[in-house]
């Protein structure tokens, strides 16, 4: 629960940082809905974890004066396959393959070659295969709270780059390094 508190405060700190930069005397509209980006991500996360996902971001709030900040939602899908541990005493392994359908509130800070997304919301977690010591474990399908961040370095405009990712969920948490391809609107 501590990690959710950290995500919550980071999320609103980033929101307030950007919104405090807005000059209200210019009577600008903050509500500017638009499509922001779509990305396909693939990652090898901490050696024994592989993840593939697709996500789309939609903005609701942007400032004309502070164009690097946007607040919106992210919808996405992730597939993850984890070999969680090796039990050296019994020579047993534990693995899990799962899918997540995600719906997040999102705060994005974006500059020319870097982008930081922090998000918090819910996911529908579906366990496809879970083995513990070569025994099948009950498959699970539930809603869980989930939060995290992506830090992206764009190598070719908004089309290709590298990222660092961390997700914390009530079901399964993971993080690591990977690459993305996609399309994004220019700020």
Domain CATH for 62: 2.40.160.20
Residue 53 inside a domain? The answer is yes
Residue 57 inside a domain? The answer is yes
Per-residue pLDDT tens over the stretch 11-31? 555 555 544 544 545 545 577
pTM score of the predicted model: 0.74
Whole-number Cα distances in Å, 173 to 20, 81, 88, 119, 169: 32, 12, 23, 14, 5
Residue 49 inside a domain? The answer is yes
Residue 27 inside a domain? The answer is no
Per-residue pLDDT tens over the stretch 87-100? 444 545 667 788 99
- Nearest-Å Rg of the Cα atoms of the chain is 18
Of 5-9, 44-48, 99-103, give the lowest mean pLDDT range. 5-9
Residues 6-40 as b or e (16 or more Cβ within 10 Å = b): ebeeebeebbeebeeebeeeeeeeeeeeeebbbbe
**DSSP label of 170:** S
Report the run of H or E that residue 18 belongs to, with start and end: helix 2-19
Q: What is the pLDDT of residue 27?
A: 45
1 — pLDDT class (breaks 50, 70, 90): very low
128 — pLDDT class (breaks 50, 70, 90): confident
């Amino acid at each position: 629960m501590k990690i959710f508190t950290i995500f919550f405060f980071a999320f609103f700190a980033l929101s307030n940082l950007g919104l405090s930069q807005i000059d209200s005397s210019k009577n600008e509209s903050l509500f500017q809905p638009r499509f922001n980006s779509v990305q396909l991500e693939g990652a090898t996360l901490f050696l024994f974890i592989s993840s593939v996902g697709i996500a789309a971001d939609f903005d609701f709030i942007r400032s004309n004066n502070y164009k690097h900040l946007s607040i919106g939602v992210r919808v996405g899908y992730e597939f993850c396959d984890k070999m969680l541990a090796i039990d050296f005493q019994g020579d047993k392994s534990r693995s899990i393959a799962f899918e997540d359908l995600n719906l997040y509130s999102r705060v994005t800070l974006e500059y020319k070659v870097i982008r930081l997304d922090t998000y918090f919301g819910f996911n529908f977690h579906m366990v496809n295969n879970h083995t513990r010591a070569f025994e099948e474990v009950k498959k699970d399908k539930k809603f869980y709270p989930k939060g995290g961040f992506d830090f992206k370095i764009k190598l070719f405009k908004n089309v290709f780059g590298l990222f660092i990712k961390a997700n914390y969920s009530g079901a399964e948490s993971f993080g690591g390094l990977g690459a993305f391809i996609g399309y994004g609107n220019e700020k």
